Amino acid sequence: MSGGVDSSVAALLLKEQGYEVFGTMLKLWESEKEPRVSQRTCCSIEDAEDARSVARQLDIPFYVLNMKKQFRTTVIQNFVEEYGKGNTPNPCIACNRHIKFGEMLVKANDLGCGKIATGHYATVEYDNNAKRFLLKKGADRQKDQSYVLYMLGQHQLKNLVLPLGGYTKKEIREKALEAGLRVFGKPDSQEICFVQNGRYADFLVNHGVASGTEPGDFVDVQGNILGTHNGFIHYTVGQRKGLGINGNGNGPYYVISLQRATNQIVVGRREEMQVRSFFAYDMNYIVSANRNADFRGKAKVRYSADEVDVIVSPLENGRARIEFLSDQPLAAPGQAVVFYHDDFVIGGGTIE
């Protein structure tokens, strides 16, 4: 229970369905280096009070579990290291992998709970033919969060309940209002809970990013110098705004790649950032235990992206080659690519 409306209503629905419910809040982050100027971050006092109030109203036990050490070593450290390499990691996926559906599942077993539940908008179904648990999109396509759950394995899916999968966000807020929960109108939390006001670069510098802060050259695809960048931790593949490069009336430039070895950022016009294929690693396949043959599906290369047609070719060592059926903008290394068949998640991996 994060103190938000989604997890609060998830607990309410579970209790209505006859479950014995325990509310837990994960204490993940507390920065000593950055004064808290925004309340829309994780683990705030206000969030804890909201979660505890809802638990009291629902008459369920409530625990705060300190996982700051695990969060720092598995999420924060990875976030800083990947940005230092010129990648754009997704810390929410890392948190889901290691904390919410890793450490939390162990804690749930210690508490004697048979399952864990969250306020994600997605659904878990069991397929009798495949003898496997499958992950399905949530009913609210605008809020569907199956993308950030693609890494879940069979053990996690078997022990997971997602009460909000069949509801829209509007219905969840109405449910909270009807139940008199104080969080019914609470704003959604920001995308990255531990970065205040979107200041990624400040956070990285304050937490010891090893490289990527030195100014260098913007160059075009032919190697011509176009200007000076402020350090590649400020940029990501596909970025258009904030480059400070004059387009000379020929349209804007986009970031095509970050060259760590030379500290150069390659930029180009929109047509120069179109690709037909890329590679991914650390692949996880939900619909089958192993994938050896090529398959077709729809793919998303970031949470807010549209789905596009692809052919996926599994390779050795957990890698895959993904081919678009039409030219598409470059995908940012470090982000997740997730594959779908209709409403079901086939699997996904991390973009190289």
* Strand residue runs (E) in the chain: 23-27, 62-66, 116-117, 122-127, 132-137, 160-161, 216-219, 225-229, 254-259, 264-268, 274-285, 295-300, 308-314, 320-329, 336-341, 344-351
The 10 Å Cβ neighbour count of residue 85 is 15
State the DSSP code for 271.
G
What does the DSSP assignment read for 126-140? EETTTTEEEEEE-S-
Catalytic residue chosen out of the listed positions 43, 92, 113, 193: 193
Catalytic residue chosen out of the listed positions 43, 92, 95, 113: 95
* Burial of 253 from C-beta contacts in 10 A (0-12 / 13-18 / 19+): buried
State the Cα–Cα distance between residues 13 and 35, nearest whole angstrom.
36
95 is an active site residue:
yes
193 is an active site residue:
yes
Residues labelled as active-site residues = 95, 193
